[in-house]
Amino acid sequence: MITSVRNETEPVVERARIYSRLEHNISRSQISDNALKVLNRLQKEGFDAYLVGGCVRDLLLGREPNDFDIATNADPEQVKKVFRNCRLIGRRFRLAHVHFGREVIEVATFRGAGEAKNDKQVLNNEGRLLRDNVYGTIEEDVWRRDFTVNALYYNIKDFSVVDYADGMADLKNGTLRLIGDPETRFREDPVRMLRAVRFAVKLGFKLHPDCEKSMHNAAELLSSIPAARLYDEVLKLFLSGYALQSFEMLRHYGLFQVLFPATESSLAVEESGFPRLLLIKALENSDSRIAEGKTVTAYFLFAAFLWEPVQICAKDKMAHGIAEFVAYQDAANEVIARQIKSTSLPRHITMAMREVWSLQPKFNVRYGTRPSRLIAHPRFRAGYDFLLLRSETGGADPELAQWWAKYQEASAAEQRKMTQPPRKAQNNKSGRKKAYRKKVSDDATGTD
Ligand code: ATP
Ligand code: MG
């Protein structure tokens, strides 16, 4: 098949390379049944239907896809007519979601190149795409995608893989290459820089030198992206099992400071590497938990990211005469208020972060009934894990963490013993004194 598409900023597609079923390893048995249903149904209705994006890339690499995305020449309204269980979503891109219980198959109509002045495709002054609802052909759709390895299409008609952008070659040699001119593509959508980091880390790919060069210059553009979208991207970056590498790479390209400005500045004032260590340890723990199939929570990582900024802010307040408890509360409020200008944070997340932070001083009290009340706190586990993190990185006494480890394992009787106040010894002493006095007085009355 020979195709030719031309747009001023886009390279010319000379031809698509078609890999027949015999030339690639994607088998239908690896594709979700629901995705197959949608593909087959669209085809039956006379539309073209392809799997596209991360699922094709991952299947070719022998990895399990996160989700199955479909591209078609049917427009969203037509898709909606074919599936009863379908909802249309999105403003920036209009998409069809076909629901099968908990699984959602996303169906996108091929995007067209369009004209920037067209009211369906809107660029802002910086060249960022604000809306992009021009429909087109598969040949045009290719150029709306970000990386060549994300622009491979699996055709349900003949089970072939269609490659317009040399994605297969890049996939084989592990290169992440932007389609078109990197600077323009990052300008259109600066989130592509975060995606570059995410895919490079997750797939173990290297960035193409052109892509890398543009990224160094374009990092600041990220600050124009709505905080809610950045929050979604941050979750993908840090909760997918490659948090530490993502952190290092984001810092390398100056992207981290846009996402977490207060954290970045706190890293600059580190003393003996402690703040950085806590953060790194938190990221490492999160990655190894995911590797072990355990769950990780966003609030715990955010609490670790912002712990040092809160410390710095609270200490500053205390130096101005504000009492410790109030200083920490105010610092938490301020740091969170500043952070949500960069990445939004849902309320349940900020509430949980505050709880984790405010539990920390409570771990210092080991006597009386407070420990048993603390252990019953719904956020105890996270608070304790945070204490461990601090104790492993020089921010809390390791002996304190050991005490709490022992306390949790102890029987009720042992727990009571562990929390007996040292006052007890004094009581004994005064008790003895009383007894002595009593004895003296008894003696004095001569009742013996
Ligand atoms: P994942 O494994 O995380 O699902 P993915 O590549 O499938 O990775 P999605 O966010 O699911 O990523 O997007 C699906 C496809 O849509 C991508 O592979 C890419 O072709 C295209 N795409 C997504 N976001 C963008 C973007 N910001 N710019 C250009 N193309 C994009
Ligand atoms: Mg995907």
Two tokens, residue 255 = 């992207």
Helices 261-268 & 324-339 angle (0-180, nearest 10): 120
Count of alpha carbons within 13 angstroms of residue 429, beta-carbon side? 5
The identity of residue 305, as a single letter, is F
Phi (first) and psi of residue 36, to 5 degrees: -60, -40
Alpha helices (runs of H) in 219-292, residue ranges in sequence order: 227-238, 243-252, 256-259, 261-268, 274-291
Active site residue 69: yes
How many angstroms does the Cα of residue 151 sit away from the middle of ligand 1? 9
- The segment(s) of the chain belonging to CATH 3.30.460.10 are 17-225
Q: Which atom of ligand 1 is nearest to the CA of 192?
A: 27
DSSP state for residue 96 in the 8-state scheme: E
Active site residue 287: no
Closest CA to ligand 1's atom 6: 54
Q: Which of 66, 146, 194 to mutate to test the pocket of ligand 1 (most atoms within 8 A of CB)?
A: 146
Two tokens, residue 384 = 């304790």
Residues in the chain: 448
Q: Could you tell me the fold of the domain covering 257-418?
A: cca-adding enzyme, domain 2 (1.10.3090)
Q: How far is CA 217 from CA 119, 181, 187, in A?
A: 30, 14, 11
User: Is any ligand 1 atom within 6 A of the Cβ of residue 146?
Assistant: yes
Q: Which residue out of 58, 146, 163, 170 is catalytically annotated?
A: 146
Q: Which of 32, 58, 132, 150 to mutate to test the pocket of ligand 1 (most atoms within 8 A of CB)?
A: 150
Residue with the two structure tokens 């995606």: 195
Dihedral of CA 375/380/384/387: which sign? negative
Alpha helices (runs of H) in 31-111, residue ranges in sequence order: 33-44, 54-60, 76-82
Neighbours of 297 (CB within 10 A): 16
Residue with the two structure tokens 């698509």: 16
What residues does the ion ligand 2 have nearby, CB within 5 Å?
Answer: 54, 67
Q: Kindly report the CATH class assigned to 17-225.
A: alpha beta
Phi (first) and psi of residue 275, to 5 degrees: -60, -40
Active site residue 443: no
Dihedral of CA 246/251/255/256: which sign? positive
Q: Which of 67, 109, 145, 189 to mutate to test the pocket of ligand 1 (most atoms within 8 A of CB)?
A: 145
- The segment(s) of the chain belonging to CATH 1.10.3090.10 are 257-418
Per-residue pLDDT of the chain (448 residues; tens, 9 = 90+): 333 344 444 554 558 999 999 999 999 999 999 999 999 999 999 999 999 999 999 999 999 999 999 999 999 999 999 999 999 998 767 899 999 999 999 999 999 876 444 555 666 767 776 666 688 999 999 999 999 999 999 999 999 999 999 999 999 999 999 999 999 999 999 999 999 999 999 999 999 999 999 998 899 999 999 999 999 999 999 999 999 999 999 999 999 999 999 999 998 876 666 777 899 999 999 999 999 999 999 999 999 999 999 999 999 999 999 999 999 999 999 999 999 999 999 999 999 999 999 999 999 999 998 999 999 999 999 999 999 999 999 999 999 999 999 999 999 999 999 998 876 555 554 444 444 444 433 333 333 3
Q: Which atom of ligand 1 is nearest to the CA of 55?
A: 7
Sheet containing strand 49-52, edge to edge, reads 17-19, 160-163, 152-155, 49-52, 69-72, 103-109, 95-100, 86-89
